[in-house]
Structure 1
């Protein structure tokens, strides 16, 4: 109910014809305002909900399968790999609309594989610490690669696009972008939602899962592939948006418990609400739009601090 109310309210919230909310009757009578609502705000609101739900759910998948409460696409380098893949297509001036998501997905998978392999190669510390360290290394590598692409990019056009990926935002989202974003994200969200009960089995360990009649390695790879594909899609069109995939799964488990039958739908809805509120704030709080990635990082850091101080999460670290 809260998500539905926020979506409807966001349609009427903006800076035209005046800052704040506009009445529905006035919006219908004003053709310019109605055009803004249908062709600017509505696709952006849909993208915000998809973005938040995707990052929240993929973060939950990563944390459940890897058995690590501190992993999310950004920490593992998946988001940075996707941004590097998108930046590479921009510098190479590839105009195909599908080039960005495919390149982003390819480098996201590469980043995840590198982080996983490096964590297994590290000889000290527990699995949580090793995975975090390897994720930091992989993130730094792809962030450096993205910096090199910025140096090579045309400062009059390409540099601005790459800067957008690094800061994140939904200002460039329209119906055309949604046409390519939805097929890479919504089917993944639906599949994970349908198969969410199997995440409970995978979280019990490989031996237990195998004794219950499933192939843990195969199913883990399938879930990780779907999570990486969806993450790459939203990053390629929305840029790097941090912290959603880290804090929302913890909030979902705090509200609904660790059973993925309940925590998965909770994460989907909560992620959509968080991203929508953040985007509404980014586009209305000042005359110039604030990059969405900055707001989610600020809010995420504050919320995560509260979770660390006041929640049972501390006992698992």
Structure 2
């Protein structure tokens, strides 16, 4: 048997090495074949402006398409995963993710609004982010109607707000131009990284870093919250403020991810649960590992989405096909009670 310190070292190395390996591997995957020497020389030397057209195409393929897409997949997957893990710890329920607070539905409505009114992807990102945050805030205040059982009322508030924004999304589809706007809305709602570039990544990176950093810094308090409100209060933790900080951080991180990737479900549900089965319930270890595991998971799903068929499969479709059966396994394990 390996010692615990040795196991932690192996885990830490894997969390750093595996994403790098997958990102490098993703540079080889695509319709345009590139050799290892071509990719290595482009990564090291960059583009030689005196080279031929093929070299320029290979440079653009790596730096304009494959590399930003791989990095964005890792960032989005990590943000969704750690957000789901933080909320599962706070609610003491492995069947919870950030989508239950309305952020996905709110971001979807904001994106629809941007596509219909502004016809501009930058404004689509801005509105998707803003309405995602708004949906979570509305869910939070709806859950504060009753002081008793705040976690239960918060989830119920999220369900109500999600239903309202889902209805608004349906209305946006109804009034959208069926030839141009409706296909764009439909494809966005299914989730995709097809338009990924470094400008998208920089737009999403700021809120994701803020949200993820806040979760990482407060992750030890999530351990205390998981004991229950009475026990947490006894240990000197202000449960109301702590819960609000967690919700704000997860909302910022999730909205930053969803606004550039569209609606990608199940990542925040299944990845924290898999990591929990590997490393246990200690959020000090669980949440950082969720970043690496969630990013690697979405990287793999994205590679599958753009390689198994001639046309690209939306990421939301694949994550649902994977997450649905896994959700059934979770229900079987928890016997429908949602307990740890």
Quick check: TM above 0.5?
yes
Task: Tell me the equivalent position of 2:13.
Answer: none
Q: 1:23 aligns with which of 35, 60, 63?
A: 35
Q: Which residue of 15, 19, 22 corresponds with 1:6?
A: 22
Which position in structure 1 is the counterpart of 2:178? 155
* Greater alpha carbon shift after TM alignment, 202-211 vs 263-272: 202-211
Structure 1 unaligned residues grouped into runs of 5+: none
Q: How many residues align?
A: 309
1:240 match: secondary structure: coil
Counterparts of 1:68-217 in structure 2, within 5 Å, are 68-93=93-118, 95=120, 97=122, 99-116=123-140, 135-217=158-240
2:263 is the counterpart of 1:240? yes
| Alignment match of 1:289 (pick from 270, 294, 312) | 312
Are the structure 2 counterparts of residues 57 and 204 from structure 1 closer, same or farther at C-alpha, using a change threshold of 3 Å? Answer: same
Distance 1:166 1:285 in 2: 21
Retained in 1: the 8 A contact 2:204–2:259? no
Q: Per-residue deviation at 1:255?
A: 0.9
Is residue 2:289 matched to residue 1:266? yes
Cα RMSD after superposing both structures: 2.7
2:89 — aligned with what?
A: 64
Cα distance in 1 for residues equivalent to 2:222 and 2:107: 25
1:304 to 1:169, Cα distance in 2 relative to 1, 3 A? same
CA deviation after TM superposition for structure 1 residue 156, in Å: 4.2
Q: For 1:103 and 1:54, how far apart are their aligned partners in 2?
A: 19
TM-score by length of 1: 0.86
State the structure with more CA Rg: 2
CA distance in 1, matches of 2:168, 2:269: 24
Structure 1 contact 105–228 (Cα < 8 Å) conserved: no
The farther-off stretch of 81-90 and 48-57 is: 81-90
Q: C-alpha separation between the residues in 2 aligned to 1:268 and 1:179? A: 18
CA distance in 1, matches of 2:30, 2:279: 33
- The 8 Å contact of residues 3 and 269 in structure 1, kept in 2 or not, is answered as yes
Partners of 1:187 and 1:229 lie apart in 2 by 7
Q: 1:247 to 1:127 in 2, by over 3 A?
A: farther
Runs of at least 5 residues in structure 2 that lack an aligned partner in the other structure: 1-16, 43-53
